Structure 1
Amino acid sequence: DGAALFEAHCVGCHLNGGNIIRRGKTLKLKALERNGIEGPLEIAMIATEGRGQMSGYGEVLGEEGADAVAEFIWQQAQEGWS
């Protein structure tokens, strides 16, 4: 499930939707929107292929895993990572 995949593969850099490497590239809704990310589809593409300093995790997550983690991230962003 998306939450478990996020915990296993993403939380090291994105704890509570933040970003320990690039502060402006968080997973908070305003930052996602500012960076042209309009929904889970774009998040899944970044999770799979990577972007900038972030490596892609396509081989680790697979398509279903990338979709699940993207849905989780989008939902958390909508809810303010509460």
Structure 2
Amino acid sequence: MQKLLKLVLVTILFFISTFTSPANAADTANGEQLFNVHCAGCHINGGNIVRRGKNLQKKALKKYAMDSLEAVESIITNGKNNMSAYKDRLSVQEIQDVAAYVLEQAEKGWR
């Protein structure tokens, strides 16, 4: 009986982990759409029309310690200097999606 119970439990856990996605998994396709609506005006192709050196290229992100999900999410959420805060415009999930998209594009050289 105990073996059967363990088998059922393992099977249930397998199906839950296989067929459900984590709530906080980033959706970079959604991030791209959001980026195009909210960010591309200043950051087209990973650039920066306001402050040229503070762009979204991998080298600049690393130089300014903005090369982690947490750092990018924080600046999107709270803004900094000329960068507007988006915490009142985007949900936490949308901010995560945009941050993941930015880092993914930086890795690809914004191609």
Whether the TM-score (by the shorter chain) exceeds 0.5 is yes
Q: Structure 2 counterpart of 1:52, which letter? A: N
Match in the other structure for 2:43: 14
What RMSD in Å do the two structures reach over aligned CA positions? 0.7
Query: Residues of 1 paired with 2:62 and 2:81: CA distance?
Result: 17
Query: Unaligned 5+ residue runs, structure 1?
Result: none
Gaps of 5+ in 2: 1-29
Alignment pair present for 1:23 and 2:56: no
2:84 alignment partner in structure 1: 55
Aligned residues: 82
Cα displacement (A) at 1:15: 0.1
**Paired AA for residue 55 in structure 2:** T
Q: Highest Rg: 1 or 2?
A: 2
In the alignment, is the contact (CA less than 8 A) between 2:31 and 2:98 conserved in 1? Answer: yes
Aligned to 2:22: none
Residue 81 of structure 2 aligns with an amino acid whose one-letter code is: G
Identity among equivalent pairs (%): 41
